Amino acid sequence: MTLTRQETDAPTHRRAAPATGEVSQETEVGSIFVSNYPPFSFWHRDQLVNVEAALASTPHKATDFGLYLHIPFCRKRCKFCYFRVYTDRNYDEIGGYLDALVREVELYAAQPAIAGRSPRFVYIGGGTPSYLSVAHLESLASRIQAAIPWEGAEEVTFECEPGTLQRAKLEAIREIGVTRLSLGIENFDDEILSLNGRAHQSKEIWRCLPWIEEVGFDQLNIDLIAGMVGESWQSWRETVAKTVDLAPDSVTIYQMEVPFNTRLAQGVKEGSLATPLADWETKRAWHDYAFEQLEKSGYETSSAYTVVRKASDCRFVYRDSVWHGCDMLGAGVASFSHLSGVHFQNVDGWGEYIAALGEDRLPLGRAFSTDQQERLIRELILQLKLGELGGGYFRHKFGVDIFSRFAPAFDRLARQGMVELGEDRVHLTRQGLLRADLLLPEFYQDQYRNARYT
């Protein structure tokens, strides 16, 4: 799971969250996390012609550029996972996929909109990138960098699952230039990890942490999930206490959802879950408790999901670039990209993806070309997740006073106690921060409200 959930999933047919406000207090099948705008259900194959135009264009010099690499392999599929991942591929099949991934990047690197651009960030996500062998990892990095060098990148993030790590693999990860390691712990309780289908157990967490410290990375991020199956106040307090003791540079906390097309969703629909899921009020309370304990221990809030140690020099180049409208090339099966205002997704089938690149064709599946208003709203809602917005940025970039343009939405949220309005600024209250994704549809254009999200 990534910090901002790069959308490498197959379609889940969920609906966009209703404007403001509250979903059912019960945790039902569906998802409310907002990762893009307009909703994915409006993307279509007939807009792929706009991708060709974007790739042939000259990029704006001030626009950041980043590279996302999707590694879709895992030891096990978590019961709540809706991403495009595979747990049944052998060494040679993995090698074949990586060959295709490299070829995709090579094809993009020759396009006018990409050629010669140096990525400000690289994000290697999944799936489980740390599932790769050292040999596969080193070969992949070498060949990708021959097409798009990343030596000068300000941030190179790599997602890890504790049970896939060895000291030699961590050394290889560091050697290819990774600066930010994101460790998917989720919880420290073995029973909870097992109930949710996680591949690792707590002993694997404790085994890999000394290696991570010895190898040394600029930033260690730990992911937690509030409200996993089997969670209780006692187990959550213990997970938070252990996280505080570890003192990572940053901690990212998600509230548990039940997306469609997951094993967990099937259990909810069938009523076969032995342990009921926590409701949203409880999950927000757990999320709030974690933030409180971490803040007492020297952390400060960085977004609706993340806290950082005040003493550390934490940056989130990937997150902040994406939320400020950067160009990003997403390579890999089902991966998403955005370039010069055009959003596009690769095909989400293994065979189709491999076949396209075997024929030196970009494996494009669907696209959406945004207008100025859609780009403005996308940046506004994503940046609102940071907890605070200033009007100057939007006036400079879009020529729009957001507090006049969206006055009714901001006023409604202020009356509900979700935001505090200041002079040319808006600040999310703690209650607003804990519900950030529920607030964002307030700013949607009418045609996108209550639409199917993917």
- 440-446-451 Cα angle (round to 5): 70
pLDDT of amino acid 11: 36
In percent, how much of the chain has pLDDT > 90? 83
- pLDDT class of 26 with cuts at 50, 70, 90: confident
pLDDT of amino acid 30: 65
- pLDDT class of 288 with cuts at 50, 70, 90: very high
pLDDT of amino acid 424: 96
Domains of the chain: 40-321 (3.80.30.20)
Would the pLDDT of 31 be above 90?
no
pLDDT of amino acid 297: 97
Comparing 5 with 152, the larger pLDDT belongs to 152
All residues at 6 or more sequence positions from 76 whose CB lies less than 8 Å from its CB, including other chains: 87, 197, 198, 199
- Starting at the earlier edge strand, list the strands of the sheet with 388-390: 388-390, 425-428, 419-422
Give the model confidence (pLDDT) of 102-134 as tens digits: 999 999 999 999 999 999 999 999 999 999 999
Residue 163: CB atoms within 10 A of its CB come to 19
- pLDDT class of 262 with cuts at 50, 70, 90: confident
277 touches 267 (CB < 8 A): no
Average pLDDT in the chain:
92
pLDDT of amino acid 266: 85
Would the pLDDT of 271 be above 90?
no
The residue written with tokens 């996280």 in the block is: 243
pLDDT of amino acid 261: 82
- pLDDT class of 267 with cuts at 50, 70, 90: confident
Least trusted range by pLDDT, from 6-10, 81-85, 273-277, 341-345? 6-10
Look up residue 305 and give its amino acid: Y
The residue written with tokens 């998917």 in the block is: 184
Give the model confidence (pLDDT) of 189-199 as tens digits: 999 999 999 99
439 touches 409 (CB < 8 A): no
pLDDT of amino acid 24: 56
**Cα dist from 108 to 105, 118, 266, whole Å:** 5, 13, 39
Give the model confidence (pLDDT) of 421-434 as tens digits: 999 999 999 999 99
Would the pLDDT of 9 be above 70?
no
Comparing 257 with 141, the larger pLDDT belongs to 141
Residue 419, both tokens: 């935001």
Look up residue 51 and give its amino acid: V
Q: Where are the beta strands (DSSP E) in 240-283?
A: 250-255
| Ranges of H-type helices in 117-166 | 134-147
Would the pLDDT of 7 be above 70?
no
Give the model confidence (pLDDT) of 160-188 as tens digits: 999 999 999 999 999 999 999 999 999 99
pLDDT of amino acid 97: 98
**Cα 243 to the center of its chain, rounded Å:** 21
Angle between helix 167-175 and helix 202-215 axes, rounded to 10 deg = 50
Would the pLDDT of 442 be above 70?
yes
CA 309 to CA 107: how far, in whole Å? 40
Give the model confidence (pLDDT) of 369-421 as tens digits: 999 999 999 999 999 999 999 999 999 999 999 999 999 999 999 999 999 99
CA 352 to CA 342: how far, in whole Å? 22
In percent, how much of the chain has pLDDT > 70? 94
The DSSP secondary structure of 42-69, one letter per residue, reads G-BGGGHHHHHHHHTSPPPTTS-EEEEE
